Chain A
């Protein structure tokens, strides 16, 4: 078990965002968090890398309470690909990717050959090595996204968190990205937890789905087992039709809002 979330609640002042959240994440899985706007998905992610601290309950990372970790120690285990990453600064692609090594450095240590090799490997993996000397201001949206993934991978984490990674990508890039994630899980022993808006993409690429609605977990498990017409109507307020395609994958067709 990599992460265990135990009865976690979170609120800003008096606004309750998460209520009694409990779940566990196993090794080498892709887990998608889905749910309507304002369900607390991003807040839940933030709690996992200690950007926010739960008001009650506790989170365990490798069986050790997250509160006992320093931010730097968490950064060696958890990488983040956020929703809106700013790129209005003059870094070359390589300089930006090498930032992923920061958690591994002490104050006066210098970047080693090994650091540059890890960065190179991840740039190749995400297919941006050929851009390494370009300034990141010159990258396209898809390239920039891959850069952020390369940087997160350069932290050599065991868990990667994604906040709506497909948001600004066209269909082809969405699939390329999710296929890359699948490869990372298979080849690099990484566990992925992502917030996704597109249910069909979530079904297609996830081992498990976590449905978050109205501050609570509604369901958590394999897509085929937990997704049905009623749950989607209740959570998203949309009438859908669910079919199984020839390849055995669930297809969810929205029909109308209820």
Chain B
């Protein structure tokens, strides 16, 4: 059993590597497989006499690679944050979007874009508002010091609507160039990917995912009833707060780079639960890999199906993810409402 789970994780990792290579080869410039491999070997320092045309390096290193890395990072970030939110809120519907946290983040981003701040501050704005939203929704969902599932989603949805309206309002007021920026957030996507954003979010996302992984025991215990978690020595309130902060940060850093990409955070953890089980020791890593794979596949498709137009990646994630999820759900008969 344990071995099977490790094998599944290894398989996911291999799939990610394969998808990585498919994605880097894929595109509408006339670059051959050989050239790509030569270039990559050259960059790592194995192959010195590359002698490639300059546009190859530009397209692969400046255009495709950062985009691929961002898709992997953000897919993992959204999936992990969805996974832990479903866990700490004990709700199958919880995720970066249904809890309003992503909408809070996009409002923060829109606000800071509107005032002409740089990317660093826009990220900070997204983060600030995602944390604020997380706690506000959490407070609304708690009654008599117990967390109520229905209240959580209800308040999440309402807050989400509230922030969407505010974002629309900002759009209405903002100047043309700012408006374009804000619309980019709402559509969601990676066409503005560059190494600068990789440098900002790579350490944040990696550290947060590793940190959340050290909480796998607490996350498992929180799946049980409040009383059982306490009886296992878990300080529910404190742990939930810490994990909520980490996962909001994850959502915020993802949203600040790629705008709104729905569904990854909601569906990847569920898909992985059906395959690998609920034990967060394996589930978090598996969800992260699944999120990376799904987002990388969809982003690759989104930039290559209808050239030169890009299909917003959020549309494709739902189109691909939902049928697969339905397939798995049908196969598991007992799986309604399972965390």
Contacts and interface: CB of A to CB of B under 8 A. Distances in A.
Given A49-B231, A82-B227, A85-B228, A137 B279 contact: no
Given A88-B337, A91-B278, A133-B1, A49 B221 contact: no
A59 to B, nearest CB: 15
A71 B1 contact: no
A135 B277 contact: yes
B231 A107 contact: no
Interface string B78-110: 000000000000000000000000000000000
Interface in B179-207: none
A92 interface: yes
B277 A91 contact: yes
A80 B231 contact: yes
Interface in A72-99: 72-76, 78-80, 82, 84-86, 88-92, 94-95, 99
Contacts, number: 83
A103 B228 CA distance: 12
A197 to B, nearest CB: 19
A46 interface: yes
Contacts of A156: none
A140 interface: no
B8 interface: no
A133 B3 CA distance: 12
Interface stretch (B36-44, B46-54, B232-240): B232-240
A32 interface: no
Contacts of B337: 88
A215 B219 CA distance: 36
B228 A155 contact: no
Most chain-A Cβ atoms within 10 A of its Cβ — which of B217, B223, B231, B339?
B231
B143 interface: no
A137 B235 CA distance: 26
Contacts of A100: 232
15 contacts: A49-B230, A71-B235, A74-B233, A75-B233, A78-B231, A80-B231, A85-B228, A88-B337, A91-B220, A99-B232, A102-B220, A102-B221, A137-B334, A137-B338, A152-B231
Interface of B: 1, 214, 217, 220-221, 223-225, 227-228, 230-235, 273-274, 277-279, 334, 337-339
Given A85-B225, A90-B273, 9 more contacts: A51-B231, A72-B233, A84-B225, A90-B278, A90-B338, A95-B279, A99-B217, A133-B1, A152-B231
Interface of A: 46, 49-51, 70-76, 78-80, 82, 84-86, 88-92, 94-95, 99-100, 102-103, 105, 107-108, 133, 135, 137-138, 152, 155, 161
